[in-house]
């Protein structure tokens, strides 16, 4: 993990309030499911904001984010050539080397982008990946999953695209060796309970308000079956069987 300055390559709106930021990678490390703390400000806002890695190649890091408040709004104003600061990679990521066979990645909303780099890594390690992507209305990032997935299932709340309803309606965990999920807590809890019923291994990527992002302030601590854990340092990925929701 390191703190470094990078330059913005592009920062484009891809759906209503959703943007994709591309920054120079500057040899930064990345593992599937990890995140970076980002900032484009010096004085006004002190805390960096956590955003997961959406995609990475040799020279570029991609982040997909929804504008929800002051930090993401400032980031959305960045222009190509602007400088910003990154701290990372943070967190544990998914244990992709240990995951074999058929794997379902189940994402909802802005939990979808981090699963793209995960699907790519799992496929490169020989796993067969199906993606279950649940959207509120407008689709995003689906084409980024296509090279890495055997099947892609889509749902929207009102049926504008794909299945009408919740993405969990389409999932049968017993068809998979492992299920990986990232998104709203209500969705992940449902996925975790479906996996518990079928005895399928399930990993959840948790979201929590973060201050330091590096395990120092304990501000993101949660209770688990093996004691208190920091989402930023011990997570964000946890086995669902470890979680006390
Ligand atoms: C490990 C991790 C990875 C993340 N990855 C992504 C990502 O890939 N894409 C993305 O769009 N967002 C991601 N987030 C969420 C993102 O960090 C927050 O949306 C962002 O910090 C909000 O900052 P802000 O200053 O714009 O909003 P603020 O002004 O800080 O808050 C605006 C509103 O958003 C809520 N909020 C802020 N942070 C969170 C949070 N972490 N969880 C739930 N609600 C929150 C606040 O309660 C408030 O209602 C991630 C969060 C974590 C912890
Ligand atoms: S945000 Fe400080 S310990 Fe996690």
pLDDT in tens, 58-104: 999 999 999 999 999 999 999 999 999 999 999 999 999 999 999 99
Q: What's the Cα-to-Cα distance from 130 to each of 124, 127, 202, rounded to whole Å?
A: 14, 10, 14
pLDDT interval class at 41 (50, 70, 90)? confident
Ligand 1 within 6 A of CB of 75: no
Pocket-forming residues, ligand 2, beta carbon under 6 Å: 210-213, 215-220, 230, 232
> Do the beta carbons of residue 56 and residue 105 sit within 8 Å?
no
Pocket probe for ligand 1: among 62, 86, 111, 207, the residue whose CB has the most ligand atoms within 8 Å is: 207
Residue with tokens 């990890």: 34
pLDDT tens-digit map of 119-163:
999 999 999 999 999 999 999 999 999 999 999 999 999 989 999
User: Residue range 235-242: average pLDDT?
Assistant: 97
pLDDT interval class at 245 (50, 70, 90)? confident
> Do the beta carbons of residue 52 and residue 114 sit within 8 Å?
yes
Ligand 1 within 6 A of CB of 72: yes
Ligand number nearest CA of 88 is 1
CA of 211 to the centre of ligand 1 (A): 11
Residue 237 has pLDDT above 80, yes or no: yes
Domains, the chain, in order of start with CATH, read 2-90 (2.40.30.10), 96-205 (3.40.50.80)
Structure tokens at 46: 């002190």
> Do the beta carbons of residue 39 and residue 7 sit within 8 Å?
no
Phi and psi at residue 115, to the nearest 5°: -80, -10
């Amino acid at each position: 993990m390191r703190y470094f300055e990078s330059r913005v390559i592009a920062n484009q709106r891809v759906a209503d309030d959703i943007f994709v930021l591309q920054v120079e990678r500057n040899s930064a490390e990345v593992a599937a499911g990890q995140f970076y703390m980002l900032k484009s400000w010096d004085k006004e806002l002190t805390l960096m904001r956590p955003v997961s890695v959406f995609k990475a190649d040799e020279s570029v890091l991609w982040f997909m984010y929804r504008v929800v408040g002051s930090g993401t709004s400032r980031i959305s104003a960045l222009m190509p050539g602007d400088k910003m600061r990154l701290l990372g990679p943070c967190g544990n990521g998914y244990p992709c080397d240990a995951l074999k066979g058929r794997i379902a990645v189940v994402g909802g909303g802005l939990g979808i982008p981090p699963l793209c780099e995960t699907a790519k890594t799992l496929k490169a390690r020989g796993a067969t990946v199906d993606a279950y992507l649940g959207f509120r209305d407008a689709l995003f990032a689906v084409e980024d999953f296509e090279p890495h997935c055997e099947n892609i299932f889509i749902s929207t709340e009102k049926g504008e695209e794909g299945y009408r309803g919740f993405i969990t309606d389409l999932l049968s965990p017993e068809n998979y060796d492992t299920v990986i999920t990232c998104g709203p807590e209500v969705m992940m809890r449902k996925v975790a309970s479906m996996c518990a019923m079928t005895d399928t291994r399930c990993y959840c990527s948790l979201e929590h308000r973060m201050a330091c992002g590096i395990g120092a302030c304990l501000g993101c601590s949660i209770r688990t079956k093996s004691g208190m854990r920091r989402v930023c340092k011990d997570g964000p990925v946890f086995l669902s069987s470890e979680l006390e929701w």
